Amino acid sequence: MANETTSSTLSELYTEIVAEAEFVIQEKSIMKNLVKNYTIAGGGKSVEVPIYSAIAAAAVAEATDLSNTAVNPTSVTITASEVGVMTTLTDLARYSASRNVAADIGKLFGEGIAKKMDQDLIALFDGFSTGLGDGTGAISAASIFNAASTLRSAGLPVEDCYCILHPKIAYDLKANLTNTFANANGNDLANEALRSGYVGSLAGIKIFETSNMSDTGTAGDYKGAVFHKDALAIAMMQGIKIETQRDASLRADEIVATAVYGVGELHDNYGVELHFDSSIQ
């Protein structure tokens, strides 16, 4: 059988594989912790999220009745689907491995599903109606401030807003902050970028880097975003689940990891797409 993993008794490894996979998902998935999280329960494979419009208050004269304000929410339906990965662990591997195979398999499964979650959520950036950049120029600090002003204008608190960039796009932002790495009088943020490569917070927005995004088909051309946490959502129907099946004729065990979830955009005006091209390839 092709693509076989060789390496220790599965019943003994099972608990450790699950624990490692769950830990890695929490550590490796950036996006899941930056968006709204829902649970799909009670039957069905979707959740309907109500979307409320802003309500405006008005001055009222003394002894005057208030007029009625209708509250008619719209909704977004998020439907879950399965993602999964499988490997085959042979008997020979169980007795000959020098490494902790349970930790290795759990780590690989956790990383694979965490990456898929991030990719699915990041793909939603392209759906934001508001965007900055056309994929031909480099990002700058002004781009972040511009996006922040758009979200502030929508009445969103920036402490709940985040920026996601590909590392090659983030390079240009760091270079801009540090005056091409040669600013002798740089501020604290520029100095921190020089010391550790961590961008940190800019215009009140926390900036994260992840390689869990693909270019647009042009090398160095990536689509990130600045968004409020209520802009996007993930609905979990089933977290990571590990199952095994014995293949006696192969003298091996199939190990399968699956998760069931869905993603969706809740508020289009809560996000700004950042479409820039990296100066490095």
Question: Phi and psi dihedrals of 261, rounded to 5?
Answer: -160, 170
Dig out the tokens for 168 from the structure. 């090659």
The helix/strand/coil state of 164 is strand
The number of residues making up the chain comes to: 281
The pLDDT-based confidence of 197 (bands split at 50, 70, 90) is very low
- Which DSSP symbol is given to 256? E
Question: What is residue 5's predicted lDDT score, i.e. its pLDDT?
Answer: 43
| Sequence ranges of the domains in the chain | 10-51+73-277
Alpha-carbon Rg for the chain, nearest whole angstrom, is: 23
Question: What is residue 12's predicted lDDT score, i.e. its pLDDT?
Answer: 55
Judge whether 267 and 35 are in contact, CB under 8 Å.
no
Residue 11 pLDDT greater than 70, yes or no: no
> In the block, which residue shows the tokens 């480099």?
138
The helix/strand/coil state of 246 is strand
CATH 1.10.3470 fits 10-51+73-277, yes or no: no
Query: How far apart are the C-alpha atoms of 136 and 141, rounded to whole Å?
Result: 16
Hey, which residues does 277 pair with through a beta bridge?
A: 221
Question: What is residue 147's predicted lDDT score, i.e. its pLDDT?
Answer: 96
Helix (H) or strand (E) holding 181: none
pLDDT digits (tens, 9 = 90+) for 141-178: 999 999 999 999 989 998 899 999 999 999 999 888 76
